[in-house]
Structure 1
Amino acid sequence: MKELLLLRHAKSSWDDPSLADIERPLAPRGRRAAPLMGREILRRGWSPDYVLVSPARRAQQTWRLVAAEIG
């Protein structure tokens, strides 16, 4: 059976109010949390066949950190 996994971006930074929303990066907390989510996905035996990622900087960063954990 097919499963759908929705993963929200990790905690983003609001340090630079001049950035457009799409350009906001991950906060330090988000950079620590994203790999943990990747390890949890791996622990559960989930293996995505197809991934869609928002062009938002924080979403791209989150996915790179998650993907690094799940290989």
Structure 2
Amino acid sequence: MGKQNIGTINALVRITCGLFFLTYGAVRLTKRPWNQSYWVVIIASAMKIAEGIVRYCPVTDVWQSQTKSSDQNQSADF
């Protein structure tokens, strides 16, 4: 795993929103167990909680590496 790439405030927001949507998905799933779309909400929420706890987001890491490589390519053109 790479180094931490999100800040403290970002991590707290991810944890808070993740817990909210995890609860939302779980409550909705208990009322409508045949609706499988709530599992997507639960899994995505759990992923956001984990990202907030470890302060590492793989999507942010890829985005930052793509931005750095495109900046280097543009500076080499000049």
| TM-score normalized by the length of structure 2 | 0.29
Higher helix share: 2
Bigger Rg, structure 1 or 2: 2
